[in-house]
Structure 1
């Protein structure tokens, strides 16, 4: 019932936003910029702002408006201009134009040229993605060098509408349909609620004479096709306030996404069994108890934990992981793009980038004291004590074994398990294959060859390391000397 209430509430709010547009009192662009800054807390008093300026209408209006607000917010402004080396002479003219603006307005500038097409070919990216990666790498490098607080970029309301529509056409979830965030980490977008028409009018009013990138008029890119063809058609035929409608929709969905995102992270923390660099282990039984939407979000977060971003995480990947959990046997494995491996291990689902490498068979004699075993990345410590030693205190530590030294002898070994290995597990009747024992103990398949096996000179197993000692070598009333072996990770 509660879920139905929130569904109805959401759609009612969305309908109000779209249907009752109303005539909002016209505000100046500068007033709208200030309103956006305050609404989303984009800037603090005394901030050092790096402004990405291409020379086009958006970035020039952004620079000019922040210059006008400089005294009010006590800001330090610095221009960053990147020449993508795509447009030849026009790119050089852009750089000269920005340098003249910087000099005229008394604002510091750093400019750089970078061959975006070469980077695109090297990385196998689209031209747009390659340019974005290089641009933000440049910005963040300057941010550290100049002790910058915020990076301001010129995305506007039309960019937002194009992004939402593009995500919808390509297929996206709630996060994708939330569009461009006004604030994302250190990146701020003070023009995000201002239309392109308002920006162009502002540039004309203040004689800013921005540069025009003619590549924006080419319809070889999807965004340009939407901007030049589809959106004008939708405005003319279906909704003359489409840009505003899509922006309001994105705003609503963004709040929904933020709420669900926080809820998901809380559930993810509850499901996490182990988390380390390059590996995340979750309880898949508890995962399947959750709503399907939250299941998908948690799996997405698991993949993102390894990738570092949501980029190129698609519905198909998430669906494959869900299918692995629901329909596969323990030990099953799924290989996702970019070297991500997902494994099913009984009640656990493991996300990792670790390759499964076979271990060459090894056998090493152990001496008293400590010894490093590089094949399994463990340290083993052995010592002999009298029976009066309080050895029972170690029984709750699975990485410590206390054994009857007289039954083992002075020469003992550590090796990898072999096919056909058998031992007599303490507390059980009769012998058991080590392989079957490891399966019963739910040791993951890829970890079984890393379990240390301790043997006598005659190759009798007296301890399956970290799991169970052999009943034949246990301490009894007749024991005089105790061999204590400890595994140190």
Structure 2
């Protein structure tokens, strides 16, 4: 066993001379064997070894005794020790998450703190090859997405150093044999036998059947995990080329915008990878609620013939197609996007996006460009109103008999659907639509003027 782990450590460059290693130890067979292994490795590599243990407070005196046991073993073997107790039920209630997730969060918070205080280089965890097989089988069962099946990494960044898993090359049986050969007497957590937990059910019912067919299943799954990681790293680097054409702002909870035509020029495999990178960017890390169905919905949206369409994703993320534009954004209610403000002569109104509309008296009806509008003061009722559209809005356009729906103007001008509810228009106090800002100008009673000219000007800073 030692030779297998030594080769694995060298292959993945997990340990270097003169490093400080924190070993997470529960007192069970895997973590106790890991601590013992590193104690024997200590002299060869001139390592500083620190055992860290957490009482999650879920098994009363038993879990407290586990921590005491680890402390005694650490001191007996010449390792430093850090231990703590955490309040999982309180944190679970505060964070609104499950028991296992809460326990994991608090455990990793403590381990990160130990690494920071001790200046440790690595955090060693006792996950073994059978754990890896269970993890990958569970991932495959939960999701049809290839991206979801990757296993636990051999090494990944954590706190001020790295998490390493030197035992991923071993089976559970090999670790048990190591414990017996070295006289280790690990603590046994009875909750590991409870098959109501999904992982325990896989461990007791699924894995034994598969290992009867292939006793080296854990080795094959580990090789698969490493291969998948390598392939995915390459695909991710290639997908970064797709993201160079994507406008991404705001990070978690932010906003993503890109051209459908440009996006679709890339191979489909890179489009898929870029799609998941976008979700990781917006969600912070891709969440479990995202499934193969969401991916299918997205690519169907890209092929949709309608010029405007949208999708609702988990946690109020919306994917919107408006002609060639694709937007990922966290949705706002109509109440949040609606705008209404009075505008008096000599004053200005600031819109939610920071742009401004001003109103002033003028000597003539001269207009320069689409962002200036003039009308006759005697034929409008002041104050003017700057607002967003409402159902049924119509505007009487200059030089046109009758009126036209504001909705139809948006369609004619190919204004993206998600922009229509925030687009400013100006009416008088009686509700007469004078100006759909930047798009079309209303009659404004400029025929036979009899009063002072009023000039509206739109500025976007």
Paired position in structure 2 for 1:21 = none
Equivalent positions of 1:255-266 (< 5 A) are: 255-266=230-241
* 1:362 corresponds to 2:334: no
Q: Of 420, 423, 427, which residue of structure 1 is paired with 2:393?
A: 420
Match of 1:53 in 2: 25
Aligned partners of 2:42 and 2:436: how far apart in 1? 70
CA distance in 1, matches of 2:46, 2:56: 32
Quickly say closer, same or farther: Cα 1:215–1:461, change in 2 above 3 A.
closer
- In structure 2, distance between residues paired with 1:112 and 1:415: 58
Task: Tell me the residue number matched to 1:192.
Answer: 168
Does 2:181 correspond to 1:209? no
Secondary structure in structure 1 of the residue aligned to 2:408: helix
Seen in structure 2, the aligned counterparts of structure 1 residues 381 and 351 have a Cα distance that, compared at 3 Å, is closer
The structural deviation recorded for 1:94 is: 0.3
* Residues 169-195 of structure 1 deviation map (CA, whole Å, 9 limit, x = unaligned): 444433333311112322221222233
Mapped pair 1:353 → 2:325:
no
Shift of 1:121: 7.1
CA RMSD of aligned residues (A): 4.2
What is aligned with 1:337? 314
The count of aligned residue pairs is 439
Q: State the distance in 2 between where 1:208 and 1:336 align.
A: 50
> 2-side partners of 1:429 and 1:268: how far apart?
48
**2:72 is matched with which residue?**
100
Give the corresponding residue for 1:269: 244
Summarize deviations over 1:269-320 as a string: whole Å, max 9, x none.
33x2453342222333444555554444333333333322234122122223
CA distance in 1, matches of 2:401, 2:179: 87
Aligned mate of 2:219, from 236, 244, 257: 244
Distance 1:207-1:417 versus aligned 2 partners, 3 A rule: same
Contact 1:462–1:469 under 8 Å retained in 2: no
Tell me what 1:486 maps to: 459
- Residue 417 of structure 2 is matched in structure 1 by 445
Q: Identify the match of residue 326 of structure 1 among 290, 303, 311.
A: 303
8 A Cα contact 2:170 2:218, kept in partner: no
- The answer to whether the Cα contact below 8 Å between 1:368 and 1:381 also exists between their aligned partners in 2 is no
TM-aligned CA distance change 1:171 to 1:453, over 3 Å: closer
Please name the residue that 1:8 is paired with: none
Q: Deviations over 1:334-379 (max 9, x none)?
A: 3233333232322233222232333455132256587544xx2424
Q: Report the secondary structure of 1:54's partner residue.
A: coil
* 1:341/1:485 CA distance change after superposition, 3 Å: closer
Where does structure 2 lack aligned partners over 5 or more consecutive residues? Answer: 445-453
Q: For 1:81, what is the secondary structure of its paired residue?
A: strand
- Report matched runs for 1:78-157 at 5 Å: 78-116=50-88, 127-144=99-116, 147-157=119-129
The 2-side partners of 1:367 and 1:144 are apart by 62
Change (3 A) 1:128 1:416: closer
| 8 Å contact from structure 1 (residues 425, 432) kept in 2 | no
- Tell me how far apart the structure 2 counterparts of residues 254 and 193 of structure 1 sit (CA, whole Å): 16
Tell me, yes or no, if the aligned pair for 1:174 and 1:257 is still in contact at 8 Å. no
Go from structure 1 to structure 2 and tell me whether the alpha carbon gap of 1:222 and 1:383 turns closer, same or farther (over 3 Å shift): closer
- In 2, Cα distance between the equivalents of 1:482 and 1:72? 84
Deviations 1:212-251 (A, max 9, x none): 2233234333333333333333333x22322222222333
Select the residue among 200, 204, 219 that pairs with 1:224.
200
